[in-house]
Amino acid sequence: MEMLPKRMTHREHVTKTMEQLKSLRYRSYSMEKPWLDAEGNLIWSRNRMTAARIAFSQSFETCMGIIILANLVLIIYEANEGAKCFPDYFKNIKDCPYTSDSNLWLYMSNVILLLIFSVECLFRAYVERG
């Protein structure tokens, strides 16, 4: 008699799927501890270890992914608005009322996103350092 493979429960399936979805960076740091040297001595400061726990968490990765998607939507909107400038403002694009420079909320959104991405970059540089 041939045995059928065990059928996974919903919880087991979700757990297995979530394990597969973890980023490579998160997975690599969950297996080895970069804050310890070869002998197991602590080589990172407490602040850096706390920052690493945040930076390598799935929650942080998800949050940054959502911000990136929001930025993508903003880019699409900005491109559609900029397309309205043609052909009427072809010779003098600075006078077009649809450019991102003319829309204060769009300009400020781009500045805020740039700041978020810059802070994330500095945060990761502090943690990973090379």
Average pLDDT rounded to a whole number, residues 99-114 = 88
**What is the tens place of the pLDDT at every residue in 53-84?**
899 889 999 999 999 999 999 999 998 888 88
Please state the domain count of the chain: 1
**What is the tens place of the pLDDT at every residue in 2-27?**
555 667 777 776 677 666 655 555 55
Q: Is 5 domain-assigned?
A: no
Q: Is 66 domain-assigned?
A: yes
User: What is the residue range of 103's domain?
Assistant: 10-128
Q: Is 1 domain-assigned?
A: no
Distance CA 9, CA 43 (A): 42
Rounded to 5 degrees, φ, ψ at 115 are: -65, -45
Q: Please check whether residue 25 is in contact with residue 57, taking contact to mean a CB–CB distance below 8 angstroms.
A: no
Q: Is 3 domain-assigned?
A: no
